[in-house]
Amino acid sequence: MVRHWMMERDFIEVDVPALQLSPGNEAHLHAFETRLIHNDGSTSPRYLHTSPEFHCKKLLAAGEERIFFLGHVFRNRERTATHAPEFTMLEWYRAGAPYTKVIEDTIEIVRLAGKIPFTWRGRVCDPSAEIEWLTVSEGFQKYAGVDLLATLDGNKPNRDALAAQAPVALGKDESWSDIFSRILVEKVEPHLGNGRLTVFYEYPACEAALARACSHDARVAERFELYAAGVELANGFGELTDASEQRRRFEEEMEIKQRIYGERYPIDEELLRALMIMPEASGVALGMDRLIMLATGAERIDQVQW
């Protein structure tokens, strides 16, 4: 059904390599590592992809305009009721399209699975109901009493300003990003997608390493997530195409990863070269296992993974 939907809209399915030089450069994204043995017996690291994103962007730079990937991706350190180390991802890109267009796509695809209301752990979501549109700053104000934009100096996060408002217990040495995530998970997410789908959009720019800044306010970025019954189903962007800015963000993320986890991943230089010629585009990734979990009323993602 998903492939048929895509092909009706002139998307081309792509099958990208799972083995990569770099699995992504977000601080809290963890990959499975293996070793490539060369003919002379020397070895070098390779990683199972956490997303097909880097290869898809290279294809956009090469001239493809509408592409999608449907297959398995791998993320380490992830095992919860809604996370699995191997899962099925649907990811697609539109060259020359605003990110509002891929938001529309996402809603349509989720509604394909929603012939009856979604349920998850006592929460119900009717995907056919009118969509709730909620900015991240509105959500933090409404459900946590936090003025999020006031904690951003330009697009730089002010840790103390957020800590002063935080309605959650703070751990030692937690960063602005740590506190943001804690508030989101504990105070905001449970209210998203209840009764109807929620488009949660305009994330702080510092929480959107691969997205371009919003033209109306550089403190926030063209990043959205779609929620149903308190569960995040999709994550999408108006894609960043400034190679210099992308390198700066990757390096900053890897410094954080080194400090917290004692490791870092290589930067994909081929991707950065591709960004220099890549057209403006928007893309989104949707977790198929989570969607099936909600559509079947399962309580854990492993119940729908065969």
Tell me what percent of the residues of the chain surpass a pLDDT of 90.
93
pLDDT at site 207: 94
Distance CA 14, CA 60 (A): 11
What are the backbone angles phi and psi of residue 33, rounded to the nearest 5°? -105, 145
187-205 confidence digits (pLDDT tens): 999 999 999 999 999 999 9
Asked whether residue 306 carries a pLDDT value surpassing 90, the answer given is: no
Q: Are 188 and 143 in contact (CB under 8 A)?
A: yes
164-185 confidence digits (pLDDT tens): 999 998 887 889 999 999 999 9
Q: What is the residue whose two structure tokens read 């309580």?
A: 299
Superfamily of domain 2-303: Bira Bifunctional Protein; Domain 2 (3.30.930.10)
The residue ranges of every structural domain in the chain are 2-303
